[in-house]
Amino acid sequence: MQPQQKNRQERSILKDKLSWLWSEYSVIIAFLIIFIAASFMSPRFLDINNQMNILMQVSIIGIIALGMTVVMLSGGIDLSVGSVLALVGVIAVIALNATGSIIAAVLTAFIVGSFAGLLNGLMVAKGRIASFIATLGMMAAARSIALYIANGGSISGEVSGFSAIANSEFLMIDYPIIIFIIMTVFVYLLMHKTRFGRYVYAIGSNEKAAMLSGIRVDRVKIGVYSLTGLLVSVAATIETSRLNSISSSSSGVSYELDAIAAVIIGGTRMTGGRGKIIGTFFGVLILGILNNMMNLMNVSPHLQGFVKGLIIIVAVVFQKRE
């Protein structure tokens, strides 16, 4: 009996180790599997220009997804990110054309984005409105204001240097990619090395317990949504700079879906309290590879939304099984 018990014990230990490995690094394992599969499916996939293109394409959604991760870790959700991006872009271009100053335009973008996030935070924290409803209202309001200001069309920048933000490179790496990596490091350090990050995790795990332990839940929530608004403004600056223009009707459409998909793929719980910034980073890359592969294989762009929706559902099912 002893050898049998020893074998059962070894199998149990092995199973526990594999379970831990999957729970901690599942998104990285999934990324490696998809990356290898994509390299076999298309010889063009491994081309360095294609790899840079993938990183460039996901940089804007990636920055937004970082903010969405913080919100979801706190137990909330932000549906307004796409519309706020369009509003921030429209007002930033107006400021750019009025002042002729790139710095003024960027500062204006940061102020507008942070203010929109602050309003979301106040509605959720002080108004006790469910984050889904509060940000849904902001989504409609921000898009409406953007359409009104731009008369339903696009606004172009009149300062040529503004486009250098998104169209320049350093050591063959485009600025948007560098900004995305810097923002990832910044949010990672904020969430894992500061008191603010610990408070966000505590609120997402058990808000009532966090409140009883002395955490200023309202202030933290306002900070969470303000931070998300600031990150959206960074993404809006890149998006506007890329073409030196912004569309009030189409810019930012469905960005909230892409951001939520990346966050969930990265392992962050919809209920909050559990997730990692590095998981979101790889979740964004997985989405980028999937989109790139569908383009290389001439899959209809109309089906890409279906794939993203399916991925969200599958990811949530796996989370519930853990």
**Residue 154, burial from CB neighbour count under 10 angstroms (0-12, 13-18, 19+):** middle
Q: Tell me the per-residue pLDDT of 32-72, one tens digit each, with 9 for 90 and over.
A: 888 898 888 888 888 888 899 899 989 999 999 999 999 99
Residue 2 clears pLDDT 60, i.e. is over it = no
H-helix or E-strand spanning residue 154:
strand 154-156
Residue with the two structure tokens 């920048």: 157
For residue 207, pLDDT beyond 60 = yes
Tell me if 72 sits within 8 A of 221, measured CB to CB: no
More confident position, 243 or 309: 243
Least confident window among 270-274, 286-290, 299-303 = 299-303
Position 227, amino acid: L
Q: Would you say 44 and 104 are in contact if contact means Cβ atoms under 8 Å apart?
A: no
Mean of pLDDT values over 81-102: 93
Is pLDDT above 80 for 187?
yes
3-state SS, residue 18: helix
Tell me how many degrees the CA angle 221-222-224 measures, rounded to the nearest 5: 60
The secondary structure of 299-320 as a DSSP string is --GGGHHHHHHHHHHHHHHHHH
Average pLDDT, whole number, for the chain? Answer: 87
Q: What percent of the chain has pLDDT over 70?
A: 91
For the chain, the domains span 58-284
Cα–Cα distance for residue pair 275/26, rounded to 1 Å: 12
Q: Which pLDDT tens digit goes with each residue over 238-274?
A: 999 988 889 888 888 889 988 998 999 888 888 888 8
Contact between 267 and 275 under an 8 Å Cβ cutoff? The reply is yes
The rounded distance, in Å, linking the Cα atoms of 164 and 243 is 10
Q: How many helices (H) does the chain have, and how many strands (E)?
A: 13, 4
Higher model confidence: residue 23 or residue 283? 283
Q: Does residue 320 surpass a pLDDT of 70?
A: no
Q: What's residue 86's pLDDT?
A: 94
pLDDT of residue 159: 83
Whether 112 and 212 have beta carbons less than 8 Å apart is answered as no
